[in-house]
Amino acid sequence: MALTRRQFLKWAGVTGIGAVVFNGCRVPDHEIQVQSPVEMPEDLVTGRDNYYATAAQLGLASEGLLVRVMEGRAKKIEGNPDHPVNTGKHGIRAEALLQALYHPDRIKHPLLRIAKGGPFRRIDWTEAIERLTAIISDRDPNEVLLATPLLRGRAADVVQAFADGSRIRLQGFDALGCESVAREALRQLYGQNAQPDFDIAHASYILNFGADFLGNWINPTNYSRGYGEFRQGDGRSRGRLVHVGARYSTTAAAADHWVYATPGSEGLLAMSIAYTMIDEGTADSDAASALTGGHGARALQAFAPERVAARIGVDAHVISELAHELADKKHHPALVIGGGPAAAQANGLFN
């Protein structure tokens, strides 16, 4: 059979397309090459993921997390349902941990500043340890201070062991003083040097002085879960939240009543409310006696609403209304919280 020009072009086109298709489907050589490290992690199986339970300190509290790891790399973070603090939930800070882990500017090795106020250069661990050893050995131990944030748990043990072994002073700092002030206030009132855990879920009324517990104060994930129960828990009426503060925070936005008060005056408002309750006989008699040294409302006359209203920036009748709401038995159990900006200032302990 004679091959016509049309048939020749037809078969040539099919052959060319086939060559392109099969060449495109062919596995490139570099894809066939598989890395085989000598010491392969025992749980590293290609295509299989693993979950690891851990905890991360986010702010002043920790959250229990489950980290999904595939082929040795963390891929996803979720709340641990068995952790007593967050019970399966997690906040936006926990969600951002992967970004911090893989951030290109994350410090992965020791750095040495070249000159005062100048840039850094990378050094190896041997040089870093030698320099630190020289600093510690050439000076009196009291002249060297190891400053850290407030640490807990295993991290605190490791840093303390390093400080003890190096004979240097260790000092933890609370940047805004919020946690330190809260702990000192509890120590003076109840004799306990501990961070409080407010039972928001079982309260019927909350009077909050400054603490943004739905935003970034202590453990917003745990408090947000309790706040959900506070608002619409089974078999209970909706709780009422009153927030006192100068900033329109996340908690202020969620409150039934936001009371704007002059920054630093939260303690005056609290004492004025206490005076009103004691003066009207609605406060607990034992607590009133302990607060006033047995002198009753006379000891707190300087905090009468009409005397401090101008300094606080809140009308006297509003102060009286807050005292009446707090004393109202239909609002019991009532919870009073203080912290955040109310504590992060010179008179924070008084507040």
CA 71, 75, 80, 81 torsion-angle sign: negative
67-123 pLDDT, tens digit each: 999 888 899 999 999 998 888 999 888 999 999 999 999 998 999 998 888 899 999
Residue closest to 211 by CA, chosen among 189, 187, 178 = 178
d(CA 214, CA 253): 10
Residue 78: alpha-carbon gap to chain centroid: 16
Give the pLDDT mean for 219-234.
90
Question: Which domains are seen in the chain, by residue range?
Answer: 49-98 (2.20.25.90), 124-173 (no CATH), 193-342 (3.40.228.10)
**Res. 38 pLDDT band, cuts 50 70 90:** low
136-186 pLDDT, tens digit each: 888 887 788 899 987 877 888 999 998 888 888 898 887 666 677 878 888
Residue 180: alpha-carbon gap to chain centroid: 15
Residue identified by tokens 């072009």 is: 9
Q: Are 186 and 68 in contact (CB under 8 A)?
A: no
d(CA 210, CA 246): 8
Q: Are 299 and 236 in contact (CB under 8 A)?
A: no
DSSP conformation class of 205: E
3-state secondary structure of 240: strand
What's the token pair of residue 344? 């992060």
